[in-house]
Amino acid sequence: MKYTFLLVLLILAACVPATTRAPQPPTETEETSVPGPVATRSLLDPEPSPPGAEEEFTTDFSRHTVPYDEILSGGPPKDGIPAIDFPQYVPVQIADDWLAPTEPVILVQVGEEARAYPIQILMWHEIVNDTLGGLPILVSFCPLCNTAIAFERTFDGQVLDFGATGRLRYSNLIMYDRQTESWWQQATGDAIAGKFAGGQLSFYPAAMIAWEEFRENFPDGTALSRQTGFVRDYGRNPYTGYDEIDNPPFLYDGPATPGQLSPLARVLTVDLNGEAVAYPYDLLEQEIVINDTVGGESIVVIWTAGTASALDNPAIATGRDVGSAVAYSRRLSDRILTFSALDGVLTDLESGSHWDLLGQAIEGPFEGQSLTPVVAINHFWFSWAAFRPETRIFLAGDQ
């Protein structure tokens, strides 16, 4: 039902404040809070020591790159939405018992190792501190912006561990690192306050796809386990109806959203060499394949049906089909390929090879070869436009 996610406000009133803590191995803990918005009261003002924040953080608030009055309370306190610091994993066959085929998961692959991070878990934790293929990574999800983003956790020569500040800017999650308590904007990877203010985390390619797609392509892969050390109603969406296209974004107090698209329109965004482009899902569903050039780089954006919205129905598994979108470089060795969805099959026009959603050539002269992923991030339009208002929107007829 429309706006039923606002019922979360009543639950959040009982949130128990969390304190700074070093990561500890998981033990079953009582459920004390759920994610969701509560207040629109600004916690911060332009003073060097933001009111209230200095009681929870040791952050050097004299260093900041954004006005503090742009930062609002998201409801839960610091670590009130607990990050997963000691993730456990299960084989695909085990996760298949509790993941529906169309459920959205975040795919991250490092070398030969692939892992699925189910949105049904990230919905309640928002942050996973992990290591995959020897690479320390941060996997994050902001429900209010529909942003699933992976970063490398190594910054300034040290591996950082991240938690949730309980604050939002432009409705987007603000994280903090436990080593310096600098604050980081999830949508951009920018450090906005503290010792590292002015720095930026390195993005790592990640894609939001259907569990069935992951399972079929990575039968030897792993999935983040529900054994998180916390008791949560995994599989339930506490933001029921939030992504209805006519809804206003919640806790958004930023610039007016450019009117070419509805604020909650789904877009896949690509930002290369200083140029940012948004590909609306509505257009992708019609085109299936888009060949484009961004920042001088030739890319292809691919859409396929079969992935449920996590922010629609009370049960994530029954969310409406919104599909998945991914992006890759069109350069293969010394050739630039041009792609088309011929008879529903992704085909490059240069060789006639067939390709799948994950950039693998499955038939033809290029069989066995792979396209290089491009960092491409799902957003609601209001969220991306707030941070990159100069973005070019890809429109019908641009190909």
Q: What is the CATH number of the domain that holds 375?
A: 2.102.10
Domain count, the chain: 2
- Reported as half-sphere exposure (CB side, CA atoms, 13 A), residue 149 has a value of 29
Q: Domain boundary residue among 224, 251, 286?
A: 224
Residue 126 domain flag: yes
pLDDT value, residue 28 = 47
Handedness of CA 183, 187, 188, 189 (dihedral sign): positive
Shared domain for 143 and 11, answered yes or no, is: yes
Shared domain for 81 and 203, answered yes or no, is: yes
Shared domain for 211 and 315, answered yes or no, is: no
374 CB burial (10 A radius; 0-12, 13-18, 19+): buried
Residue 285 domain flag: yes
Q: Which residues of the chain have pLDDT under 70?
A: 1-52
Q: Domain boundary residue among 224, 255, 287?
A: 224
Residue 334 domain flag: yes
Residue 300 domain flag: yes
pLDDT value, residue 292 = 98
pLDDT value, residue 47 = 54
Angle of CA points 241, 239, 287, to nearest 5°? 55
What count of other Cβ atoms lies within 10 Å of the Cβ of residue 25?
8
Shared domain for 300 and 213, answered yes or no, is: no
Residue 208 domain flag: yes
pLDDT in tens, 258-278: 999 999 999 999 999 999 999
Shared domain for 196 and 276, answered yes or no, is: no
Shared domain for 323 and 197, answered yes or no, is: no
Containing H/E element for 163?
Answer: strand 162-169
Task: Write phi, then psi, for 12 (nearest 5 degrees).
Answer: -65, -20
Residue 78 domain flag: yes
What domain range is 302 assigned to?
266-393
Shared domain for 273 and 185, answered yes or no, is: no
Shared domain for 210 and 87, answered yes or no, is: yes
Shared domain for 90 and 179, answered yes or no, is: yes
The residues near 329 (Cβ < 8 Å, ≥ 6 apart) are 297, 298, 299, 300, 371, 372, 373, 374
Residue 204 domain flag: yes
pLDDT value, residue 52 = 67
Shared domain for 68 and 131, answered yes or no, is: yes
Residue 259 domain flag: no
Shared domain for 273 and 220, answered yes or no, is: no
Shared domain for 167 and 296, answered yes or no, is: no
Amino acid at 113: E
Q: Which has the closest alpha carbon to 197: 6, 335, 64? A: 64
pLDDT value, residue 251 = 87
Handedness of CA 267, 112, 123, 33 (dihedral sign): negative
